[in-house]
Chain A
Amino acid sequence: MNRKLSSGRLFAALATIVLTAVACGSTSAPAASKGTITIAGFAFSEGTVLADLYGEALAHDGFTVNYKLQLGNREVVSTAIKSGQVDLYIGYAATDLEFYNKGAGEASGDAAANVQKLNSHLSSLGLVALTPSTAIDQNAFAVTKDTASKYNLVKLSDLAAVGGQLVLGGPPECPTRPFCQPGLSRVYGITFKSFKALDAGDPLTFAALANGSIQVGLVFSSDARIAPAKLVVLQDDKQLEQADDVVPILRSAVASDEAKTVLNEVSAKLTTADLVQMNSQVENLHQDADAVTMAWLQSHNFGM
């Protein structure tokens, strides 16, 4: 593309943006809404996919849905839902359980049991977790192929002997989360040389693994960027990670039977493979999350 054409197009694009911003008012609201639900998305890429997926299903059913995407991590989102600034977010059974029970270690490999226990902690907060999906996204720990072969790493327990030479990277909250650094220490006895605060399995983590400023990075098991980045996920041979099935968590005040039915229907049809596939379209191909999730809903008979 030559420079002249490019700057002409830039100007055209900017002019369109500015004119539209000046000209257009607020968008019109749909008639006869069944109620308004504000859904929060976590500030990692799958957070947007899941928020769009469940949000579009609710919107299709006649709810007015507002989105607060990329809102923050669980610490931020839980603050928002407890104060009623958002009504719904899509969480993960085991991680949310250990978050609300302050790391009491109740989580197990049984997602239904996790959600049941989770609800015992949520009810006093005016929140409720619905039936979990079978789609799972767990914390996982990845190393580069070079690191794996250099230290003979296949499973997490292999890290115990060499952890002192390696730097762990993850989101800033990793050192305080039971399924992150403390869990690696408690279950596997791994002590790392140091911890580097990055992001929740997003570009900073991938970049840090690639340039060697960390050797072990927290990623998500359903992340579609792991394979193209030539990373190896270490096996969780002592089951540190528990059943982290996708589960909608909402304020009881908005948990009408109809809303619950719609959300449960999405959870029931969603599989881990679907989630990885959608993540791949968004993360690797930069397709729009809302379009990708809409296509999934259409192909799963949500009649759109």
Chain B
Amino acid sequence: MAAIESVLKWFTDPAHWSGTDGIPTRLMEHIQLSAESVAIAMLIALPIGIVLGHYGKLGNVAINVSNIGRALPSFGILVIAFQIWGLGDLPIIVSLTALAIPPMVTNSYVGLREVDPDIKDAARGMGFRGMAQLLRVELPLALPLVMAGIRTSAVQVVATATLAALIAGGGFGRYIVDGLDQQDYTKLFAGAVLVALLALATELSLGGLERLVTPRGIRLLRVRAARPATAFKTA
């Protein structure tokens, strides 16, 4: 197929591997925008989800925030952020952070709630109290779900960062928006492939990390497979 051939040629052209519009530069931009957004979202969302889950408060809010997050039109949020903060990385990172928070809150809340009450009782019996119980007993047990939330958010952010190019941002979205405007479908296709690969790499690496941090005891238990409600797509 001619299309596939020209995309392969695009990838093997050394000109596309250097300079401000080269793949390494765009990759770093894309990773930087995504990583910063996910990191900030973690700092905000995880404490909220963990505390709410630990005390069992505001469960409806913690669960439904995911629905609201899914309802946010990423394009509109980006342009509003551009109106507030002007040109640059700030409006992009704020928007991506806003989109990354909801899945993390919901998953960490659910993770904490699902810790077996018998285990909490046993922990108390062993003398764990308050913070110690949360940090040393509940959190390790909730970690797989907390990590699943981070993974869901991160994959969503990597995909949505593509739209940053609509407000003059960098990253792989540049190839897509520039390719559309230049009617250069090879560049467009290459950009789509790069974003998809980066999303896949994010999914796999965080999935691997998730398995690593899962306590052995839980791994032996049945870790709840494929929750049906984790589909997040905002771009």
Contacts and interface: CB of A to CB of B under 8 A. Distances in A.
Q: Do chains A and B make direct contact within the complex (CB under 8 angstroms)?
A: yes
Interface of A: 72-73, 75-76, 79, 171-173, 175-176, 194, 196-199, 204, 207-208, 210-211, 213
A194 B25 CA distance: 13
Interface string B169-208: 0000010011011111000000000000000000000000
Contacts of B20: 194
9 contacts: A171-B181, A172-B181, A172-B182, A176-B184, A197-B165, A197-B177, A197-B181, A207-B86, A213-B88
Contacts of B181: 72-73, 75-76, 171-173, 197
Contacts of A199: 168
B183 A79 contact: yes
A153 B140 CA distance: 64
B61 interface: no
A59 to B, nearest CB: 30
B88 A197 contact: no
Contact of A75 (B82, B86, B165, B182): B182
Contacts of B165: 197
A257 B210 CA distance: 70
Contacts of A176: 182, 184
Interface in B134-182: 165, 167-168, 174, 177-178, 180-182
Contact of B168 (A72, A79, A173, A196): A196
Contacts of B177: 172, 197
A108 to B, nearest CB: 26
A79 B82 CA distance: 30
Interface string B45-86: 000000000000000000000000000000000000010001
Given A176-B184, A197-B168, 14 more contacts: A72-B181, A172-B177, A172-B178, A173-B181, A194-B20, A196-B168, A197-B177, A198-B168, A208-B168, A210-B86, A211-B86, A211-B87, A211-B88, A213-B88
Contacts of B168: 196-199, 204, 208
Contacts, number: 46
Contact of A207 (B87, B180, B183, B184): B87
A75 B87 contact: no
Using C-beta atoms within 8 Å of the partner chain, give the interface range for chain B. 10 to 19
A198 B177 CA distance: 10
A15 B182 CA distance: 41
Nearest to A177: B182
Nearest to A204: B168
B174 A208 contact: no
Given A194-B20, A197-B178, A198-B168, A208 B183 contact: no
Which of B88, B174, B182, B184 has most A Cβ within 10 Å? B182
A173 B182 contact: yes
B89 to A, nearest CB: 11
Contacts of A210: 86
Contacts of B174: 197
Contacts of B82: 207
Closest CB pairs A-B (n = 3):
A172-B181, A75-B183, A172-B178
Which of A76, A194, A207, A210 has most B Cβ within 10 Å? A207
Nearest to A176: B182
B107 to A, nearest CB: 32
Contacts of A172: 177-178, 180-182
Contact of A204 (B167, B180, B183, B184): B167
Contacts of B183: 75-76, 79
Contacts of A75: 181-183
